[in-house]
Structure 1
Amino acid sequence: MPACWLSRSGWGPSALRKADGPRPNPSPEGEGLSLDLHLHPCLKNATMKTAPFVAAVLLAAPLVLVTAASAQDGNSRPQPVVQPLTIPLPADRPYPGTMQLRVDATDVARGIFHVRQTIPVAKPGKLTLLYPQWLPGKHAPRGAIAEMAGFTASAGGKPLAWTRQPTDVYAFDIDVPAGTKSIEVAFDFLSPTRSSEGRVVVTPAMMNLQWEQVSLYPAGWFTRNIPVQLDVTLPEGWTGVAALDGLKTSGNRYSYAPTNYEVLIDSPMFAGRHFRKWDLGHNVTLNVVADEPHYLAASPDHIARHAALVAEAVALFGSRPFDRYEFLLALTDELGGIGLEHHRSSENSRAVDYFTKWDENDWERGLLPHELVHSWNGKYRRPDKLWTPDYRTPMQDNLLWVYEGQTSYWDLVLAGRSGMQSKETILGEWASHAANYSVQPGRRWRSVEDTTLDPIIAARKPKPFASWSRTEDYYNEGSLMWLEADMLIRGATNNRKSLDDFARAFFGGREGDWGQVTYDFGDVVAALNAVHAYDWERFLRDRMQASGRPAPTGGIERAGYRLVWRDTPNAYDRDRMAQGKNVDLTHSLGLTIDKDGIAGNILWDGPAFRADIVNGTRIVAVDGVAYGKERIEAAIKAAASDSKTPVRLLVERGGRYRTVEIAYHGGLRWPHLEKVADTPDGFDRLFAPKRAL
């Protein structure tokens, strides 16, 4: 039936009549519909082509509709309860007083933070306090409200009544008595003690204090207008670092000068037993905590490369959107992993051997460049719908292919220019991404821009068939798209201009300005056209907003390279698999296998998929012998040399075993970027240090 038939209630013969209005005149084309009734709006435009269907429906309708109505007449039918808006919207006005936030972080053994907060109030009545929900950098509502416990409110030592709003569980309503100048709230933050409960933020050697987890703020104000003064008590002998000003220490108590709540939330702390710091120049410091002290053994060359990274970033953008910047880096196997940007600091973790096995970790050294670039792209310049006045207002992620995608481009470029990563590793990473997109079926139905909503849709949880559903591809496909834009500009201007010019004009600003300047899609297009006139609107819309696009290899080809396949992994995939202790067979069997033989990342409609292998399936044996990485690679090679020999696997899932034969004969395949003969090497020019120009 037409959809409009299903959208009405109160069925019966009268449903086909209008309550009032003129009786329609039959038309010559509709003589067969010349019925003595007032037609339902759904039927007013019926023509000769639809006449037989409509006539049949009209003749059958009375019996069908009466029957349906009769069947429902005895059912209870409630109406919705209207929920009034009871939370004040944020206003750009001064807050009457300064909040005091006290955090006791000494309970390391149990990972519990004890919070005490004093909040000035302007008048009696209902005060709504909010726990931060929509968090910058996480691009989604990720507030850790479930870990809050023991909440109380009081004034002058007397308890106050409070209720949580059932339609917004992040909102607490408190009854403030007349004559009250401030209230006290207290609660415990029960941080996860194992990864199954969430990200671990406290270990015996270090902690990651995120102030949004241990504070509330009053509704009705822009958070930048709410003053707050922080005191935090750390375990004895620990050192803490945060990009907050006015630090005074008394034993293990850290007290900071008043700031505003927005700056507080953007200035997390790393603290630990084992700590070192290095000056990188340009008012940038590298602060490192580690599980054990020997992991802090950085060589002068290691630090020189970090310093070169900072210098290259300043040379690229032309100014600093900060007065100082603190790299916060945890080298740990115990603290939960993190890579998060802030305006005047990073919040990162890497493996404990970041320094001690430097030559083996080239592939993972793009994280610090990424977060540093975010000070310009994401924090200072921010999409207008990603800037919000508080942490309750929803963010709109559509332009993350600029915010994250171009940052993912610059982190590789700056890593190459500074020596943080080798050219071989960077090209291997681009090859890996381009190859994955070349076989990704989800491209047929989902655009890159739609994947910017994935942090909200999927909350970054694992997916059954990610190649079909797609994930947050705006990072890596965004990087490849910006590579193409850069190479297009370089080629059209005979290397007189490049995306460097866009970066300086668009992300650069007034030296030391660490406010925010917002932009929209039109601003991006205009800034690109100011560098080189081109149909940038079509270019960006085709690549970011359209589905069904080919693999994003245009920048690779403009740089004088092509995507090829070899039977050995590129440098990036090789080191990535070595550290992860897994084998990535995406481009052969269509899956990855971890160190325990567990399959994952099943390629939609790939060989493993067609053999009914799904994520979590355990590969028990290959050709009747216990699974091993070398053994399955040998089986793939054998099948490539004999078209009649399948890859035979014994697999187990849920306690059930079966033998599968995969008829794949294409051999081992990993992607590489290969230089095209007799063409200029665009990557050599791209990675040339800018400081030397």
Structure 2
Amino acid sequence: MSFRRFILSSVAGVGLMFGAVLAHAATPQEQPQPLPLPPALPTPQDKPYAGQLSLQVDATDLSRHILSMKETVPVPADIAQNGGDFVLLYPMWIPGDHSPTGTIDQLGGITVKAAGQSLLWKRDTVEVSAFHIQVPKGTHEVTVAYQLLTPVSPNEGRVVMTDAMVNVQWSAVSLYPAGYFTRQIMVKPQVTLPTGWDYGTALRADGAKTGGTVTFKPVSFNVLVDSPLFSGKYFKKFDLTQEDHVPVTLNVMADHPEDLAATDAQIKAHKELVKQANLLFGSHHYDHYDFLLALTEHLGGIGLEHHQSSENSGPRGYFTKWDKTFAARDLLAHEYTHSWNGKYRRPAGLWAPNFNTPQRGAGLWVYEGQTQYWGYVLAARSGLMSIPQVEEALAQVAAVYDDRQGRQWRPLIDTTNDPIIAQRAAQSWKSWLRSEDYYSEGQLIWLDADTLIRKLSNNSKSLNDFAAKFFGTHNGSFITSTYQFDEVTQTLNAVQPYDWASFLHQRVDEIQLHAPLDGLTRTGAKLEFSEKPSSYIESASGIRHSSDFLFSLGFSVSKKGALSEVLWGSPAWKAGITRDQDLIAVNGEAYDADTLKDVITQAKGANKAPITLLLRDRDQYRTVTLSYHDGLRYPYLAGNLDGLKALLSPITTH
């Protein structure tokens, strides 16, 4: 072939190829389309589940922090007759957490058997907490074995097993069949504990303990999840029962036996808590109640409400350093109040038919906010904290929330979404994001409401009357009673006529540049600042092992120098300081809290030298200069505190 013929032939070939490409391009390429979702999980039905689940938990593997379970589940008759898809759910929406916090990431070793034969299981591709089991025809029950690989250190999550104690939360160690309200599913639980350990729980034993194994009476799955267990090597029970003879027990476990040394006066204060709560609400919604309290530096911290119990943790010196640890003693009052507010009366959006149905937290400013208020009030009325100590605590709350820069953009109601948004993870700028402000700012709203009722009624009515009307209904009933906003305002109006809807909407739904401090000023109190920290601040700092410079330089710092919070807009913020940096030196001297206090004091006044901080941010060091000259600042309440004293004083019987 000549060169000319070769070129012409090649050009013709390219033309044919190009034409083929054009022809192919003329056919439109299909756009991707979504795969159809898998079939929806069975919708919960309010009908009894046939048969009874049995659940066995082995809590003895302390060294490896592993809980091992064996659960036997009856198969519904319609599935057993023909075989088919049987769905088990792992609880995700845990009451009190207000978000899907189920520890499914710790679930392992799942095996399923029926009649001795292994069955395959498959996780749902959308609802990853659902497990599909294809059961053969004629299968009447399945046995599921699995483990909960609990955290071995706080870096992985909340520690629930140590060499001296264990916290069994049944929601974390159980599965339940889909398609039913969990109140309609019955289960018989059993737990095996280390030899010689005692335990506390709202569950009641079905017979004597056999070795380390305790079998409990059958309960609904709802009640099971609502009845956690504390067990420990060093354990003590204190009877708090009142004249009504309804059993109330304080179950305490500790890292060390000496930490259980409670005095009669200290136990009397806990008894007074039960008495004052009963006087406040005029009712109870349990046939027994168990406070579960861990005094520990090793078990993960907790404060979680249940209908007939509560999970609480406190410092080792809760009893033995009574005068120094009082800042932790409103916790039991808070969680106990939840038996009425949160467990019995509950915002409609926070009730769900099972533990995998999403909840809506718009009512948390009542659920948590008013509980936070009663927690402080009942702590004072019972003597768990003195009235001056609670006044100091209220001063700290008022100062913190009045200084929240995030209120420039975010109304309080939106913070009720935070359990879902942030999953209670640490935040870089909590004061700007506002975090879960419905707790303590909600507390200030209810103080505002209480003092306004007292003023309008010439002190003949108070929020005590609201508590009795709203939470005191159906004495003795365990059935959750849901409510919405209108019932809150109607009950307030029944106590004291007023435009309560506007009062609450303004404080909850609208942006307010200042915290609702009218409740304090109405009593005659005034928020001011001193160069000396209050005893409450010192107690809280001692428990947290940190020092508070929030209202001077604008940060909190641990004993070892780790910055745990930096306030948005503060001098530290303006200097570019963030949390999780390490404070190494102050004005050229190694950091400790007393040194920094001295430097801040010496820098007070005009024409004084600035404060120089040496910081370490991972592997980088830098020096920052703060031109701050206002001295140390700690909040306290000045003025006439008689109004607050009256509000915090015990209810007397007639």
* Bin of the TM-score, shorter chain as denominator length: over 0.9
State the secondary structure of the residue aligned to 1:163. strand
Matched, 1:116 2:116: no
1:105 to 42, 59, 63: 59
Larger mean CA deviation between 80-89 and 311-320 belongs to 80-89
State the secondary structure of the residue aligned to 2:123. strand
Aligned counterparts of 2:428 and 2:541: Cα–Cα separation in 1? 21
State the secondary structure of the residue aligned to 2:318. coil
TM-aligned CA deviation for residue 358 of structure 1: 0.8
TM-aligned CA deviation for residue 378 of structure 1: 0.3
TM-aligned CA deviation for residue 628 of structure 1: 1.9
Match of 1:458 in 2: 422
Match of 1:60 in 2: none
Match of 2:270 in 1: 306
Matched, 1:596 2:596: no
State the secondary structure of the residue aligned to 1:117. strand
Match of 2:649 in 1: 688
Match of 2:330 in 1: 366
Amino acid at match of 2:643: G
Contact 1:445 1:548 in 2 (8 A): no
Write the deviation string for residues 480-530 of structure 1: whole angstroms up to 9, x where unpaired.
110010000001111100000000000012232111100001110111000
State the secondary structure of the residue aligned to 1:568. coil
Match of 2:389 in 1: 425
Contact 1:543 1:549 in 2 (8 A): no
Shift of the 311–648 alpha-carbon distance from structure 1 to 2, 3 Å rule, reads same
Contact 1:99 1:228 in 2 (8 A): yes
Match of 2:503 in 1: 539
Contact 1:140 1:456 in 2 (8 A): yes
Write the deviation string for residues 430-489 of structure 1: whole angstroms up to 9, x where unpaired.
111111122211001111111111111001111111111111111100111100100000
Aligned counterparts of 1:258 and 1:518: Cα–Cα separation in 2? 26
TM-aligned CA deviation for residue 668 of structure 1: 0.8
Contact 2:38 2:125 in 1 (8 A): no
Amino acid at match of 1:691: T
Matched, 1:272 2:232: yes
TM-aligned CA deviation for residue 290 of structure 1: 1.1
Match of 1:212 in 2: 171
Contact 1:322 1:511 in 2 (8 A): no
Match of 1:33 in 2: none
1:330 to 277, 294, 297: 294
Write the deviation string for residues 77-96 of structure 1: whole angstroms up to 9, x where unpaired.
31111204430010101101
Aligned counterparts of 2:292 and 2:106: Cα–Cα separation in 1? 24
TM-aligned CA deviation for residue 634 of structure 1: 1.7
TM-aligned CA deviation for residue 168 of structure 1: 1.0
Contact 2:315 2:543 in 1 (8 A): no
Matched, 1:467 2:428: no
RMSD: 1.6
Amino acid at match of 2:230: F
Amino acid at match of 2:469: A
TM-aligned CA deviation for residue 644 of structure 1: 4.2
Aligned counterparts of 1:614 and 1:72: Cα–Cα separation in 2? 58
TM-aligned CA deviation for residue 161 of structure 1: 1.6
State the secondary structure of the residue aligned to 2:426. coil
Aligned counterparts of 1:665 and 1:85: Cα–Cα separation in 2? 65
State the secondary structure of the residue aligned to 1:434. helix
Aligned counterparts of 1:160 and 1:174: Cα–Cα separation in 2? 7
Match of 2:530 in 1: 566
Q: Which runs of 5+ in 1 are unaligned?
A: 1-70
State the secondary structure of the residue aligned to 1:135. coil
Write the deviation string for residues 89-128 of structure 1: whole angstroms up to 9, x where unpaired.
1010110110111111121221211111111112221001
State the secondary structure of the residue aligned to 1:584. strand
State the secondary structure of the residue aligned to 1:479. helix
TM-aligned CA deviation for residue 74 of structure 1: 8.1
Matches within 5 A, 1:166-565: 166-248=125-207, 249-282=209-242, 283-565=247-529
Contact 2:441 2:515 in 1 (8 A): no
State the secondary structure of the residue aligned to 2:214. strand
Write the deviation string for residues 110-168 of structure 1: whole angstroms up to 9, x where unpaired.
12111111111122210010000000001100011111111011110001121001111
Contact 2:366 2:442 in 1 (8 A): yes
Provide the TM-score with structure 2 as the length reference.
0.93
Aligned counterparts of 1:266 and 1:646: Cα–Cα separation in 2? 55
Amino acid at match of 2:45: A
Shift of the 187–564 alpha-carbon distance from structure 1 to 2, 3 Å rule, reads same
Contact 1:599 1:619 in 2 (8 A): yes
Match of 2:9 in 1: none
Aligned counterparts of 1:309 and 1:581: Cα–Cα separation in 2? 28
Contact 2:112 2:118 in 1 (8 A): yes
State the secondary structure of the residue aligned to 1:648. strand
Shift of the 375–607 alpha-carbon distance from structure 1 to 2, 3 Å rule, reads same
Contact 1:321 1:509 in 2 (8 A): no
Contact 1:309 1:414 in 2 (8 A): yes
Match of 2:630 in 1: 666
Matches within 5 A, 1:129-144: 129-144=88-103
Aligned counterparts of 2:629 and 2:165: Cα–Cα separation in 1? 50
TM-aligned CA deviation for residue 654 of structure 1: 2.5
TM-aligned CA deviation for residue 260 of structure 1: 0.6
Aligned counterparts of 2:607 and 2:286: Cα–Cα separation in 1? 62
Write the deviation string for residues 392-437 of structure 1: whole angstroms up to 9, x where unpaired.
1000011111000000000111111110101122111111111112
TM-aligned CA deviation for residue 75 of structure 1: 7.5
Amino acid at match of 2:296: T
Aligned counterparts of 1:548 and 1:317: Cα–Cα separation in 2? 32
Contact 2:403 2:514 in 1 (8 A): no
The percentage of aligned residue pairs carrying the same residue is 46
TM-aligned CA deviation for residue 200 of structure 1: 0.8
Aligned counterparts of 1:671 and 1:684: Cα–Cα separation in 2? 18
TM-aligned CA deviation for residue 297 of structure 1: 0.7
Amino acid at match of 1:261: F
Aligned counterparts of 1:116 and 1:333: Cα–Cα separation in 2? 31
TM-aligned CA deviation for residue 72 of structure 1: 14
Contact 2:205 2:214 in 1 (8 A): no
Amino acid at match of 2:32: P
TM-aligned CA deviation for residue 539 of structure 1: 0.7
Write the deviation string for residues 576-595 of structure 1: whole angstroms up to 9, x where unpaired.
12332322111111111211
Match of 2:36 in 1: 82
State the secondary structure of the residue aligned to 2:604. helix
Aligned counterparts of 2:87 and 2:537: Cα–Cα separation in 1? 51
Matched, 1:618 2:571: no
Aligned counterparts of 2:457 and 2:642: Cα–Cα separation in 1? 16
TM-aligned CA deviation for residue 618 of structure 1: 1.9
Match of 2:49 in 1: 95
Contact 2:393 2:536 in 1 (8 A): yes
Shift of the 654–106 alpha-carbon distance from structure 1 to 2, 3 Å rule, reads closer
Aligned counterparts of 1:659 and 1:549: Cα–Cα separation in 2? 34
TM-aligned CA deviation for residue 606 of structure 1: 1.3
Write the deviation string for residues 217-275 of structure 1: whole angstroms up to 9, x where unpaired.
00000000001011111111111221113432222110111111000000000011111
Amino acid at match of 2:253: V
Amino acid at match of 2:140: K
TM-aligned CA deviation for residue 639 of structure 1: 1.8
